Structure 1
Amino acid sequence: MCTLEKRGSLFILTLIGNDEHRLNPTLIDSIRDALARVRSQSSSSSSALITTAVGKFFSNGYDLNWATNHSGSIDTTVDRLNLMSFNLRSLFRDLISLPMPTIAAVNGHASAGGFILALSHDYILMRKDRGYLYMSELDISLKIPAWFVKLLKNRIASPAVHREIVLKAAKFTATAALEKGIIESSHDGVEETVAAAVKLGDSLVKRGWDGNVYCEIRKVMMSDVLAASEYDETLEDAVKIASKI
């Protein structure tokens, strides 16, 4: 679940609870509902969104336990995998179409789909003292969807870093992520990270940009990722995936 706070022209969305913030339908629906409130409450004046979380995790990716923990057949697992993929792709499109700058204040580990959630924001700020960014699919023998890779390429300039993320399953601390150009800045702790996100958000709001124009420019920049996010080709092997997990 998540909370939403309006602080002046800033909206602060916080994933709550002491769990891993796994991306099951309940959590994704809660985030999407909060984003819908942001959209409805944002006025013609400039605004910005900050997304953060409490606990050790920003998000540890898809909730594979939820996908498999049921009394049904393997078809139920397949349906749940498809639903999580559809919901995350919808959440990504919600963030890209939000009429304001977006900032991820990463408080802890962001793995797989959680890393993708962070990358779905315009800026990533990260705490130094805990957490890493990690695309875990190679280590757990799962394919990475094409739209994940297109998002990585859109947000991160270096092909060498793409290789480290996808083909080496490297884990990046905040210091390493800053050196590699993955994040905007790193900070001593979670409070400092959120404070820096607020400062950045305020500076962006002061520019007085038209949110709808900002959004349309972002959508052009992200057009290849948006197109790719309409489909998850890895789910063609959903039965195999279900049997692995």
Structure 2
Amino acid sequence: MLGTETPDNRLTHAHLEAWLQALDHVEERWDAIPDAKKKEGAALVSTARVDPSQKIWSNGLDFAAATSDEHFFDSHLFRVYERLLAFPIPTVASVGGHAFAGGFGLAASHDYRVMNGNKGFLCMNEIMFGAQLPPGLYAALSTKVVHPATARSMVLEGHRFAGPEAKAVGLVDVLAPEKGQEGGPAETLEGAVQLARKLRPLCARDAWGSNKLVMYSYQLAVLREKNFDATSKL
């Protein structure tokens, strides 16, 4: 579950460090499972709080934290993106509310996304306040962008993708609840867990992570590059 350090799950140093610790824990648990029992597989689901009032999955960077540390992207944010893109078991983001900017990148770093069909937007709003998109952030997003027109709308226009449109262009995989159905973040989480259960057997032979290394080799290389001027261009 995403942290509660800030009400809108801003990506602070502490928040991102907690992500890395959680991913370490899950991966260690997976590695410790005897091969004979791995046939059941495993999966990871991330979620924000699921009470009905929760409107935001992640509102992106903590601007003060990011601009005060020239290593913020390379040593903190992009490490989380990299870990998720190379994670050895299926990962599903339960996006029960808005995911903006770096929060959108965090959702995109998961293998799959389940989104509320009635509320919430995915949006890269950097263009609205004149900030350059860090290369590693676009690298994470590009793993899920199917069409160049989608990338243009996302990056150059700051377009807000509601659930149905996000699904239509391939940015999310499942809507839960569907548009017009009742439900909130708890139902989104239920849909994410259902999807994770379907996916979990696919990692049983340990090819899930290695195939992702092939699929995302370019993006992972970008995330591992040092880019110290990214902070100055926010």
2:229 to 222, 236, 240: 236
Q: CA deviation at 1:17?
A: 5.9
Residue in structure 2 matched with residue 71 of structure 1 by the alignment: none
Structure 2 letter corresponding to 1:19: P
For 2:86 and 2:233, how far apart are their aligned partners in 1?
Answer: 33
Aligned letter for 1:39?
Answer: E
Does the 8 A contact of 2:45 with 2:92 survive in 1? yes
Give the SS at the match of 1:192. Answer: helix
Q: 1:237 to 1:173 in 2, by over 3 A?
A: closer
CA RMSD of aligned residues (A): 1.9
Percent identity of paired positions between Structure 1 and Structure 2: 29
**Whose RCO is larger (CA < 8 A, sep 6+)?**
2
CA shift digits 1:98-136 (9 cap, x unpaired): 210110110111011000000000101101232110001
Q: Hey, what's the Cα distance between the residues in 1 that align with 2:7 and 2:168?
A: 29
Decide which of 177, 184, 192 is 2:173's aligned counterpart: 184
Query: Residue 236 of structure 1: CA displacement?
Result: 2.0
- Superposition pairs for residues 133-152 of structure 1, below 5 Å? 133-152=122-141
Task: Please tell me whether residue 26 in structure 1 is matched to residue 14 in structure 2.
Answer: yes
The answer as to 2:116 corresponding to 1:121 is: no
Superposition map of 1:1-245 within 5 A: 13-16=1-4, 19-42=7-30, 43=33, 44=35, 45=38, 46-54=41-49, 55-67=54-66, 77=68, 80-188=69-177, 189-207=184-202, 209-210=204-205, 212-231=206-225, 233=227, 235-236=228-229, 238-239=231-232, 241=234
Separation of aligned partners in 1, 2:87 and 2:203: 16
Cα distance in 2 for partners of 1:216, 1:125 equals 24
Q: What residue in structure 2 maps to residue 7 of structure 1?
A: none
3-state SS of the aligned residue for 1:29? Answer: helix
Mapped contact 1:89–1:229 kept (Cα < 8 A): yes
Q: 1:58 deviation in Å?
A: 1.1
CA displacement at 1:192 relative to structure 2: 1.6
Deviates more, 1:20-29 or 1:184-193: 184-193
Query: What is the CA–CA distance in structure 1 between the aligned matches of 2:88 and 2:209, rounded to whole Å?
Result: 5
Deviation at 1:237, TM superposition (A): 6.1
Q: CA shift at 1:145, angstroms?
A: 1.7
The alignment covers a number of residue pairs equal to 217
On the 8 A contact 1:18/1:56 being kept in 2, the answer is: no
**Separation of aligned partners in 2, 1:22 and 1:57:** 10
Which protein has the bigger strand share? Answer: 1
1:183 match: secondary structure: coil
Structure 1 unaligned spans of 5+ = 1-12, 69-76
